[in-house]
């Protein structure tokens, strides 16, 4: 499989194939079976954001002591995030990288850095860097995702 910016580089993951990209249409013009490199990156970013905004039912201390399986899918509860010392920040970023490596098989050697903490909105903006690995494709990647640290109430 040749690596190009416009050619197909990877098969479409199951969940990407199940999403209706045009709900108003009564039929699909072309079934989604393969992804271009930009589509692949968008797919990975969506999945990582979904993963990091899903909360495992286990506390951080327990998650750090075990191998992660589908039963521990997601990141630990982050409602404790507030003013962080260097140790807490390092632990949290290492935890997020570990979660991504465990549950996003297309990424390897993941590093997470904190770009911004929007305390009033309960959102961390983190940047992920790593290696994208798909069949004959290996590429360095970097992208930002927003991670909720707390659920915002909408007045209900």
pLDDT for 48-71, tens place per residue?
Answer: 999 999 998 888 888 888 888 888
CA distance 115 to 91: 16
Whether residue 72 lies inside any domain: the answer is: yes
Packing angle, helices 86-103 and 37-52, rounded to 10: 120
How many structural domains comprise the chain? 1
Whether residue 17 lies inside any domain: the answer is: no
Whether residue 7 lies inside any domain: the answer is: no
| Average pLDDT, integer, range 90-115 | 93
CATH assignment at residue 97: 3.10.450.40
Whether residue 64 lies inside any domain: the answer is: yes
Q: Is pLDDT at 31 greater than 70 in this prediction?
A: no
Whether residue 153 lies inside any domain: the answer is: no
Residue 108: give the domain boundaries: 32-148
Q: For the segment 11-27, what is each residue's pLDDT rounded down to a tens digit?
A: 666 566 566 667 787 77
């Amino acid at each position: 499989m040749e690596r190009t910016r416009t050619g197909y580089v990877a098969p479409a993951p199951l969940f990407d194939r199940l999403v209706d990209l045009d709900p108003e249409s009564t039929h699909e013009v072309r079934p989604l079976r393969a992804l271009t490199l930009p589509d692949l990156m968008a797919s990975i970013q969506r999945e990582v954001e979904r993963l990091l905004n899903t909360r495992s039912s286990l506390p951080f201390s327990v998650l750090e002591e075990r191998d992660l399986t589908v039963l521990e899918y997601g990141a630990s509860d982050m409602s404790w995030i507030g003013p962080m010392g260097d140790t807490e920040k390092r632990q949290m970023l290492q935890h997020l990288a570990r979660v991504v490596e465990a549950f996003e098989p297309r990424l390897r050697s993941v590093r997470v850095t904190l770009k911004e903490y929007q305390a009033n909105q309960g959102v961390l903006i983190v940047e992920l860097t790593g290696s994208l690995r798909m069949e004959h494709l290996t590429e360095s990647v970097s992208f930002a995702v927003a991670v909720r640290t707390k659920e915002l109430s909408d007045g209900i």
